[in-house]
Structure 1
């Protein structure tokens, strides 16, 4: 990897206005840990403090992502540091709100099938978006595509030097949790670079303990020689 671990995770339960909330996130920092650490302590508070969260959750999440990025650019980061984010808010075990900016991923597992419910914001996929903002995408031999030759994703928090050409705007998905829903997996890109969605499901489909399942997935990714930071959360439904 050539650097220290820059990922942070969040996993907590809260009771708000009579609702039971499960809050889960992976923050994958780059060029330092400061942005990911800030997101761990701040992003969910900003989302849940939006007055229209209960009536228009997608609008609230989008506003909170933007507001948090503004805070980071003003208070936290120099020209380089940044972080991706994938966040999942589980409401009363019935509704799941997933948002992401960057290449960490959320996968919903139901009836034996793994369904990706986040978007990998890769430069080749969003080349037009970058170019519309005045940036460019390069792909050097032996390396991954990068925005302005530097960043391997098109959406992230921080990264002040590139902010004119990237965005922190998330893709957002709302899913109902039914009796057939088995579990969700959140993981950073170091995991998904060596494991497909369905392979991840198959590796833990018979497990009942979420912590054990997450540790199993991490060990499997390491055995496949992943060279990126690896963070993983499994949330099981029984």
Structure 2
């Protein structure tokens, strides 16, 4: 099991923060474990966070990845995708991701994907400009240098010259049209479309029960990857 997650609330600077994340590791557990322990602290310690969460999240992803690479002797040469969500005072949702862990919002009863799946074929031009290549050999999935099936991730020192750790960041003001958001690793999304996931749990009010329903269904559909899932329900 190389997936790690965060789901907690804390008070910071007279604000209530909901902190949620999925870290889907590969080639070992050290990097996702480090992210679980440190990434949110790094984001919140960014001087810009309260004025400019968008820049703070980008800066923290970059600085965290720099630390991971510089300490690969301790943390290993593996890596991790990430999707992080910060809910501020129940009014603002900030989402950031690298890789193929995904956030999908239930808005007006339909699915709205908030994250970008950072697939190698979509970033082939950047990868090739940086001296790498994208190939489906071996297998049938595009991979960076024939190794990694995502174009952005934390860690992966051997591929670092050709990967990016810059996240896509989204801000969503929370209102009555927004009911919940699903965060999940690709073990769920490989076997379930966004709309299917939303429809499956929109009537389940308890978020833990909803997350369990999604993972149970993914297993029933013979998902062969690790499956981690968090459902965040809003009070509006």
What interval of TM-score do these two structures reach, taking the shorter chain for normalisation?
A: over 0.9
Runs of 4+ in structure 1 off by over 6 angstroms are none
Question: Hey, what's the Cα distance between the residues in 1 that align with 2:211 and 2:7?
Answer: 13
Aligned match of 1:62: 58
Structure 1 residue 129: deviation in Å?
1.5
Q: Higher helix proportion, which one? A: 2
Give 1:222's match in structure 2, choosing from 219, 222, 227.
219
Is 1:112 paired with 2:109? yes
TM-score under structure 1 length normalisation: 0.96
Are the equivalent residues in 2 in contact too, given 1:77–1:160 (CA < 8 A)? no
Structure 1 residue 237: deviation in Å?
1.5
Is 1:77 paired with 2:75? yes
1:1-238 paired onto structure 2 within 5 Å: 5-75=1-71, 76-78=74-76, 80-140=77-137, 142-238=139-235
Unmatched 5+ stretches in structure 2: none
Structure 1 residue 124: deviation in Å?
1.1
3-state secondary structure, aligned to 1:126: helix
Question: Hey, what's the Cα distance between the residues in 2 that align with 1:194 and 1:126?
Answer: 24
Question: Hey, what's the Cα distance between the residues in 2 that align with 1:195 and 1:225?
Answer: 11
Are the equivalent residues in 1 in contact too, given 2:82–2:98 (CA < 8 A)? yes
Question: Hey, what's the Cα distance between the residues in 2 that align with 1:18 and 1:91?
Answer: 11
Unmatched 5+ stretches in structure 1: none
Question: Hey, what's the Cα distance between the residues in 1 that align with 2:31 and 2:192?
Answer: 26
Are the equivalent residues in 1 in contact too, given 2:138–2:146 (CA < 8 A)? no
TM-score under structure 2 length normalisation: 0.97
3-state secondary structure, aligned to 2:187: helix
Are the equivalent residues in 1 in contact too, given 2:110–2:195 (CA < 8 A)? yes
Question: Hey, what's the Cα distance between the residues in 2 that align with 1:134 and 1:141?
Answer: 20
Aligned length: 233
Structure 1 residue 200: deviation in Å?
0.1
For the aligned residues, what is the CA RMSD? 0.9
